[in-house]
Chain A
Amino acid sequence: MGYVAGVAALDDAGIDFPEVGALYNGYIGGGITAGVHLAKELGLTGLPVTHVENASATGSSAFGEAVHAVAGGRVDVAMALGFDDMNRMGGLGRSGRGGLGAEDVMLPAAFFAMWATRRMHEVGTTVETFAAIAAKNWNHARQNPMAQRRADHEMTVEEVLASTMISYPHTSTMACAAGGGGAAAVVASEDVARRLGGPMIEVVASQQRSETYTDGHVFLGAVIGPAQMTRDTAADAYEQAGLGPRDLDLVQVHDAFPIEELVYYELLGICGDGEGDKLVVTGETSLGGRIPFSTDGGLTARGHPGGPTGLAQIHETVLQLRGGAGPRQVEEARTGLCHMAGAGSVCVVHILQRA
Chain B
Amino acid sequence: MPATDPHLFRLPVEGEDRPRLLGSYAPRSDLHFWPRRKRCPVTRTPVQDVELGPIGSLYAWTFLHVPRMGKVSFGDAGGYAVGQVDLPEGVRVQAPLMGSQQDWSIGDEMGLTLFPVGTDDDGHELVTFRFEVVR
Chain A residues in the interface with B (C-beta under 8 A): 95, 97-102, 104-107, 109-111, 113-118, 121, 164-170, 213, 215-222
- 8 further A-B contacts with Cβ under 8 Å, apart from A98-B70, A99-B71, A219-B35, are A102-B4, A104-B70, A109-B64, A110-B82, A167-B62, A167-B64, A167-B65, A220-B93
Chain B residues in the interface with A (C-beta under 8 A): 4-5, 8, 31, 33-35, 37, 41-42, 59-66, 69-72, 80, 82-84, 86, 90, 92-96, 101, 106, 117-118, 126, 128-129
Contacting residues, chain B, for A111 (C-beta < 8 A): 94
B5/A218 in contact, CB under 8 A: no
A220/B35 in contact, CB under 8 A: yes
Contacting residues, chain B, for A97 (C-beta < 8 A): 4-5
Task: Please list the 5 inter-chain residue pairs (A to B) with the smallest Cβ-Cβ separation, ordered nearest first.
Answer: A99-B70, A113-B62, A114-B60, A118-B60, A221-B94
Chain B residue nearest to A223 (CB atoms) is: B94
B70/A165 in contact, CB under 8 A: no
- From A106, A168, A218, A220, give the contact of B63 (CB < 8 A): A168
Contacting residues, chain A, for B62 (C-beta < 8 A): 110, 113-114, 116-117, 167-170
With both chains docked as a complex, state the minimum distance between the C-beta of B54 and any C-beta of chain A, in angstroms. Answer: 16
CA distance A121 to B82 in the complex (A): 16
Q: Main SS of the interface on chain B?
A: strand
A117/B8 in contact, CB under 8 A: no
A102/B86 in contact, CB under 8 A: no
CA distance A116 to B106 in the complex (A): 12
Contacting residues, chain A, for B70 (C-beta < 8 A): 98-101, 104-105
B71/A100 in contact, CB under 8 A: yes
- From B4, B41, B82, give the contact of A100 (CB < 8 A): B4
B60/A217 in contact, CB under 8 A: no
15 A–B pairs (Cβ distance < 8 Å), ordered by A: A95-B4, A95-B5, A99-B71, A100-B71, A100-B117, A105-B70, A113-B64, A114-B61, A117-B60, A166-B65, A168-B63, A213-B41, A216-B84, A219-B34, A222-B94
Centre residue among B84, B94, B96 by max chain A CB count within 10 A: B94
CA distance A215 to B33 in the complex (A): 11
With both chains docked as a complex, state the minimum distance between the C-beta of A6 and any C-beta of chain B, in angstroms. Answer: 37
Contacting residues, chain A, for B90 (C-beta < 8 A): 215-216
Contacting residues, chain A, for B31 (C-beta < 8 A): 213
Contacting residues, chain B, for A99 (C-beta < 8 A): 69-71
B128/A218 in contact, CB under 8 A: no
With both chains docked as a complex, state the minimum distance between the C-beta of A161 and any C-beta of chain B, in angstroms. Answer: 14
A98/B35 in contact, CB under 8 A: no
